[in-house]
A = this chain, B = another copy of it.
Amino acid sequence: MATNPIVPLVEYENAPEPVRAVYDDIMRTRGTDWINNFWKVLAHDPALLKRTWEDIKQVMAPGALDPLTKEMIYIAVSATNGCEYCTYSHTASARTKGMSNEQLMELMAVVGMANETNRLANGLRPPVDEQFTPR
């Protein structure tokens, strides 16, 4: 039960042309020959698929932050939100970008602490210090 996705997976063979174009770009950009299931459910709305992929490609590209740092931030958010799919997929992706076990465990330690102190602050409501207020 409950292991089926909410909408069926759109496989390459059955995909309309605009979906295939995105699938091709995903595989070309990543240097892989398969498409992960996240894109196969988005494919029910080709505009959503295309927009989300292009946004991801732009956002995760090297910039002021390197791609591995970006993947770790992605994992931090996914663990905070409890998204199972995203935790598995972005951890796998960070591994391919060289994340070590030590880095993963330190990442988790920071995520845990931040979630803890966020609630201590939310529950006790200290006022923001003047020194922290941006000018």
Contact = CB atoms under 8 A, between A and B. Distances in A.
A65 B69 CA distance: 9
Number of chain copies forming the complex: 6
Contacts of A75: 123
A50 to B, nearest CB: 10
Q: Determine the interface band of chain A, counting residues with CB < 8 A from chain B.
A: 35 or more
A121 B2 contact: no
Majority secondary structure of chain A interface residues (helix, strand, loop or mixed):
helix
Contacts of A65: 72, 103, 106-107, 110
A29 interface: no
Interface string A59-76: 110011100011011111
Contacts of A14: none
Interface string A90-116: 111000000011111111111111111
Contacts of A130: 1
Give the one of A51, A58, A103, A113 with max B CB within 10 A.
A113
Top 4 A-B pairs, shortest CB-CB distance: A79-B123, A2-B128, A37-B126, A45-B105
